[in-house]
A and B are shown apart, each in its own frame.
Chain A
Amino acid sequence: MTTAVAGELRAKSAELQGFKKVQQLAYECAEAVAARLEPGITEREAARMQREWLRERGVRDWFHLPFAWFGDRTAFVNFRIPLQFFPTNRRLEPGMPFILDMAPVYDGYTADIGYSGSLGINPVQDKLMADLEAHRELILREVRERRPLREIYEDVDRLMVRQGYANRHRAYPFGVIAHKVDRVEQRRWSPHVFGFGTQSLKGLASDALHGHREGWSPLWSPYRFSDHPPQPGLWAVEPHLGFRGTGAKFEEILVVTDSGDPVESAFWLDDDLPHVRRWAEEK
């Protein structure tokens, strides 16, 4: 019995290590690409730089292909249809904010990360990033309290309004603040449709089917289908703030378990990430 639990724990921690590794790799990629951005680069070029950097390091499949948003596209100004998320020929200018968002699959483990920065100084985005810390704390606290996801979503919304920001993750498909990620089977051929890897979509669809039967959803949205306590698993959480044409987000994996101990029941997969380090430095 004990050996079984221990074995499970070991398997679990090995699995978490796998996710941690790919998340670290993705953030390394974001930092490397961000450092190479210069005036005149287009969103398409920035997206390609991310793709090439990760391919060189062994990434073959994607949850979704890398995105890059510059300027007021970081706040999804006037976004009406999902196609507008795809990188455009918008050029980067000094002082412009940017967001890099990628979801590589490596060794069968998925990561989904978001990295916000600006070319030179952008005080507004700095402020947005600083204010995101409160959201990271709020989300973790309320998940540990086992509050229904829909209510947590509303609390994040309220905090944003109090801070004076607009909720921009509302613009994502289904208005999600987070979605489940999982292990993906490695195939020799890994096609993608509309930027999303078919293997990952398959996983998401099967989750959605199971969830539908059991009363939960792999998408964490403001809608009724998210009116359930946090489902154990790995959630890529992406609160996205917008303020008058400037946007900022982070995205990282939150681990939710069925443990009775609050601290064990939910925790961020990795605390050694650029935005977390930044908040620590500012203190």
Chain B
Amino acid sequence: MTVPVTLENARERRVRTGGVELCVAELGEVGQPTVILVHGYPDSKEVWSEVAPRLAERFHVVLYDVRGHGRSTAPKPLRGGFTLEKLTDDFLAVADAVSPDRPVHLVGHDWGSVQSWEFATVRRTEGRIASFTSMSGPSLDHFGHWISNRLKRPTPRRIGQLLGQGVKSWYVYALHTPVLPELAWRGPLGKSWPRILERVEKIPGAGYPTSSLPTDAAHGAWLYRDNVRARLRRPRTDAYAHTPVQLITPLGDAFLSERLYDELELWVPQLTRRTLAAKHWIPRSRPDQLVAWITEFVTSVEGGRPDGVTATGKYADRFGGQLVLVTGAGSGIGRATAYAFAEAGARVVAVDRDAEAASRTAEMSRLIGAPAAWAEPVDVSDEQAMEKLAEKVATEYGVVDVLVNNAGIGLSGSFFDTTPEDWKKVLDVNLWGVIHGCRLFGKQMAERGQGGHIVNTASAAAYQPSKALPAYSTSKAAVLMLSECLRAELAGQGIGVTAICPGFVNTNITSTAHFAGVDAEEEKRRQKKSARLYGLRNYPPEKVADAILRAVVRGEAVVPVTPEARGAYLMSRFTPRALRRIARLEPPL
């Protein structure tokens, strides 16, 4: 049996530099590209314990404890021992020790990112860094310019941005008070920190933070005291990055505003942006996503320009490389949604009972930006087939990041004309399809514990009663309520649930809908007539797809799409009696 790769069994060495001794750990094959991970505050290299072993499968991974942290020694005296210049010396010493003749790929989180910005923008490291992945830590110089730009030209919006970040930086001011922070960290704060992290940041414990936390945090206060005031007051004017930079921004960061990076293109000629619905400690909460993005970025830098189609979609920063599964992807809203995710660079699994249509969707998805796309011919109402699909997807493609339960069929006709078979059919697809999807793929998401999002396509019919659509509306109302309940249940696990409620959208649902209580010829006529009416309304499914992506990015709960759906939604809340009158109208078929 092979020993699993963990930080505990990493190769360790000690590197001497500028009066301190750094503890350096190495994982993975030495011949591979070297990736150096730099931790933040208050942390030690163990913050990477989930990320490093996964990266080690492809790369030579190096981690070190920053001076004064973990098992590295602290400078004496502490004051003046943590300047960015000295930290740069440390980095160069480590890089020279582990990869003397090849530039390294740098990854930094929090203060690790702050110092890495210094490494990536000073002249003396030129040629030693191949790429830099930054998360949750801006360059102090860029930050200084960001503040002074806003002070020099204070528009209301810019003042708002300044105040917003000012409030988020409360801990920076606190850390500048003498002695007190050290006392707090070595006393009560140090003891309760793991619990605070678990409760506020939703980070599972599992051996993190380590027992060295109180000293790490006490020493690390000097990172702020030695650098922040000096750099913010007099930011360097030549802080241009000399390497490609990948910026990963968690949108739920309690300490850093995403606005900080608004003008980053000025400083970084080759910038790749990524965003993530997560809180500050992403190396703990989203290791899989980070490993995927770091791997992709490092590989593309190593291999020159990445070939093939690149994602051009509006939300490419959010969905790049993610796994998205769409049911009913063979036509209509499902197909448009699959394409929209493909354009954003997501990997797409197109599920439809029509195999040919599904493979068509997958094929076109690959053409417009999906790095990979697969077709899975499955009927969502078939429980066993769905279970098999879930197993296959998990083993072959991975855990789904965004699930879109979209497959649905139409059924119209009076309640008394609707036979039990009709009921069963429409509930099997419209409701049970969604239940199976949420049950199987939602479970995988929850078990992975790294967030995700579920989108269920309900309908405006979920809250707009109609005498013409009793069965269909019932099934969609159930989907809406299921989504709301599931949203409540999964909220604690970082998984969002959205119900999309489109009105009349021009798709082929009209020409496949069943009309209960009429003969085949009359059914054909009504299908044609309703298709014509929907065609005249002509609301394109692409707009619904855009709304779905936007809803995932914003984490919205219920999203009515089309003006009539929004109107009915408002009416259902404020004038339900008027809505009931509308429900009595005979449809013009």
Contact = CB atoms under 8 A, between A and B. Distances in A.
Interface stretch (B360-368, B432-440, B519-527): B360-368
A16 to B, nearest CB: 38
B508 A161 contact: yes
A164 B339 CA distance: 10
* Chain B interface extent, by class: 10 to 19
B364 A164 contact: yes
A124 B542 CA distance: 17
Interface string B304-348: 000001000000000000000000000100010001000100000
Contact of A164 (B309, B343, B360): B360
Contacts of A161: 331, 508
A124 B368 CA distance: 7
A161 B336 CA distance: 12
Given A123-B367, A162-B357, A244 B309 contact: no
A124 B309 CA distance: 10
Interface string A167-209: 0000000000000000000000000000000000000000000
A243 B367 CA distance: 11
B535 to A, nearest CB: 10
A164 B364 CA distance: 9
Interface in A116-131: 123-124, 127
B364 A123 contact: no
Nearest to A95: B309
Interface in B356-387: 357, 360-361, 364, 367-368
A164 B335 contact: yes
Given A124-B367, A244-B339, A163 B360 contact: yes
A123 B309 contact: yes
Contacts of A123: 309, 367
B123 to A, nearest CB: 34
B368 A244 contact: yes
Nearest to A243: B364
A244 B335 CA distance: 12
Contacts of A244: 339, 343, 368, 542
Contacts of B360: 162-164
Contacts of B335: 164
Contacts of B542: 244
A79 to B, nearest CB: 14
Interface residues of A, number: 9
A162 B309 CA distance: 24
Contacts of A243: 364
B367 A164 contact: no
Nearest to A165: B364
A164 B361 CA distance: 8
Interface in A228-245: 243-244
Nearest to B357: A162
Given A161-B331, A164-B335, A244-B339, A127 B357 contact: no
A127 B508 contact: no
Among A123, A163, A164, A243, find the residue whose CB has the most chain B CB atoms closer than 10 A.
Answer: A164
A162 B357 CA distance: 7
Interface in A18-69: none
A243 B540 CA distance: 13
Contacts of A163: 360
Nearest to A163: B360
Contacts of A124: 367-368
A150 to B, nearest CB: 13
A260 B504 CA distance: 46
A36 to B, nearest CB: 27
Nearest to B330: A164
Nearest to A121: B309
Interface centre among B331, B339, B364 (most CB of A within 10 A): B364
Nearest to B365: A164
Nearest to B508: A161
B367 A127 contact: yes
Contacts of A162: 357, 360
Interface string A53-89: 0000000000000000000000000000000000000
Interface of B: 309, 331, 335, 339, 343, 357, 360-361, 364, 367-368, 508, 542
Enumerate the 8 nearest inter-chain pairs by beta-carbon distance, A residue then B residue, closest first: A124-B367, A123-B367, A164-B360, A164-B364, A127-B367, A164-B335, A124-B368, A244-B339
Given A127-B364, A127-B367, 6 more contacts: A161-B331, A162-B360, A163-B360, A164-B364, A244-B343, A244-B542
5 contacts: A124-B367, A161-B508, A164-B335, A244-B339, A244-B368
